Structure 1
């Protein structure tokens, strides 16, 4: 499998129907034709063979630039699995135990208070009864949150400090962690699930433990071994700015919440044109479909790709196992907030969500298929039962605008014939 997105196998050789695979492209093209999606690129691989690459529409609608195989995409939260893998590589070296309090390396979190009641201006707080541990960061059970949730007084505190869809200008990872540690946690660590900046803090932990900035760790320890030459925190000086897809937001208005169209989101999109001060382990990478496919195939193959082994298969199996207490799903244990996957019938491990119950999930899928996505509607999943990897790229905020991820599973699975 090359990084150039060249189909290398007839789908029939690995049990897929080419005519049925074309249905995926037609469905996504309808979104483009309806003005609901700027463009898209998707890949389907089975048994390590790339059998389908679909693309359509534009990476920049206004300037008439089409989606190309080497288009660069802001993958936002698809950065999180990379950071989680980085942390577990250090775990495999004996750098920490999953149960270690993070205050051992990030002392600013030792005294972080926990919200109990009150408003954002006058919160009532209590001390931690349980420290934030490394596994709390990996599982989003730390009590940290996101400013863009708009669902809790602590979210408002984040926004007041400049943490909504970005971070304060010029602040690096050490500074943003100090800022988050000064704000109360939403709940006692380990007692609930809440999507938040946990993986950003995990990225800072990787920096402190490894002694390297996160971009250097990624480049040397992950991207070089996997041959991911076009993945970085923002564009590099040598990169062509026109290769980066334009970022769009949905224009709401149709019945049921469907967008009436899309509009460029250039102010937010410009952040990816250069390396930022804050290397966001939770959402800072730009990548190509060919590059990220190599990362996803590494996951499917148990921790190695093209001779580059990042993790042992036992470690990876532990990461894609549900870690929610009592085997619960996210709808039962988590908070009813924005997330980049449906919550019913879905668990969460160390950096990934996974399907626990396809009937409750409501989509044709396999038990144990694991995934994550990004805020601009990018997504991937690995199906260990069917030996499949699927990736999808576009640049549309928010990711809840269109049910792309559910369509992907349904349309890929209907194409499996043996």
Structure 2
């Protein structure tokens, strides 16, 4: 059994908005949470650390903008014995997507586009992208688009674009053959990557289904074209600097301590259908975060800290405002976090089956976020309208607008379906809310 570092509290209240210091200064009882019940979060998560199934973690819980709980245990680098710290940097992978979605909607508020606009207006390579109908990855049968890819299709993952790592469709195999699985071809920037994706078929006609894929990466490229800035510059000037997110970037920057970046791990599989038997370093994949890449992935390229990302989560909870101003209007945030699937459908009925650690039933999808439509159908203790997203290395966050709660979770374990962390987070946080 691996020894663990005991969870340590940490968040500062500042005008109703937590800072990145991660030092708790509010008694949970003041905002209706039971401290003893909150401790159950750390105890349950630490069991996975003790069992060797999780390297380490950091979790934050805030209510009404007041940080009431920070727990951490285990190591950011198990082999070197380096503990998880408040300033540990994490590969947040797909938790980059909500930031890119916010960036796009900032431009939307400026009148740069309409959600119904075809993306080929600015990315002409997608004007003639074909749609898969039948056949194999080597000999696909395709048809023309009957509906163009529109901006809203990128935001809602209804574009027909996919991921190579799904391994469920012939087009997925085409992505992998072209060098698009967990990475992109060396040296290719966002413009070149989009040209390559546009040259491969869509999985379905735009707007007809939901499929998790590179839609948000294409959205990041659209932000670059519309703003005239590389994505990292737009993020830094328009989002990170205003919010005080000083430790978030596409990979480590000059002067960043490499030891602050948590080591990436993968689950060691057990018997078929059984749980993982342990973890192993995944250094070849993890090394991509040690420096700024050629491709600035709006879908999964950022490295961040728990304190930095907490500022972003709180921006969402507050309807687009922060202590020094506003990035988005509250009606825009409300529009982003309501279900945009046709007819109010959930992901189980409108989406393609994916190997996911959280249920797709009772869950809708908006402009960059999933949201709980029906807690009973979802099967997890949650509030209607609770919205969230997570990353490939098991990071996750959610905002509960009913209880006015935000939760962030950070670790580095691939794939995110290894452990049911996200379901446990909701039930353990919600059971601690007593008033």
| TM-score, scaled relative to structure 1 | 0.99
Structure 2: 5+ residue stretches without partners: 1-17
Question: 1: distance between equivalents of 2:315 and 2:255?
Answer: 27
User: How far apart are 1:254 and its partner, in Å?
Assistant: 5.0
Matches within 5 A, 1:63-212: 63-212=80-229
3-state SS, counterpart of residue 239 of structure 2: helix
Question: Given that residues 91 and 393 in structure 2 are in contact (C-alpha distance below 8 angstroms), is that contact kept between their aligned partners in structure 1?
Answer: yes
3-state SS, counterpart of residue 257 of structure 1: coil
3-state SS, counterpart of residue 277 of structure 2: strand
Partner of 2:26: 9
Structure 1 position 62 matched with structure 2 position 79: yes
The C-alpha deviation readout for 1:138-161, integer Å capped at 9, x for no partner, is: 000000000000000000000000
Instruction: Select the residue among 347, 366, 374 that pairs with 1:349.
Output: 366
Question: 2: distance between equivalents of 1:27 and 1:394?
Answer: 15
Question: 1: distance between equivalents of 2:344 and 2:356?
Answer: 19
Question: 2: distance between equivalents of 1:9 and 1:203?
Answer: 38
Displaced runs of 4 or more, over 2 A: 254-257, 338-342
The farther-off stretch of 254-263 and 232-241 is: 254-263
The C-alpha deviation readout for 1:218-265, integer Å capped at 9, x for no partner, is: 000000110000000000011000000000000010574311000000
Question: Given that residues 357 and 419 in structure 2 are in contact (C-alpha distance below 8 angstroms), is that contact kept between their aligned partners in structure 1?
Answer: no
Partner of 1:413: 430
Partner of 1:358: 375
3-state SS, counterpart of residue 19 of structure 1: helix
The C-alpha deviation readout for 1:254-281, integer Å capped at 9, x for no partner, is: 5743110000000000000000000000
Partner of 1:373: 390
Structure 1 position 306 matched with structure 2 position 323: yes
Change (3 A) 1:78 1:4: same
Question: Given that residues 340 and 372 in structure 1 are in contact (C-alpha distance below 8 angstroms), is that contact kept between their aligned partners in structure 2?
Answer: no
Structure 1 position 322 matched with structure 2 position 339: yes
Question: 2: distance between equivalents of 1:160 and 1:53?
Answer: 43
User: How far apart are 1:339 and its partner, in Å?
Assistant: 4.5
**Aligned residue pairs: how many?**
418
Structure 1: 5+ residue stretches without partners: none
Instruction: Select the residue among 66, 72, 78 that pairs with 1:49.
Output: 66
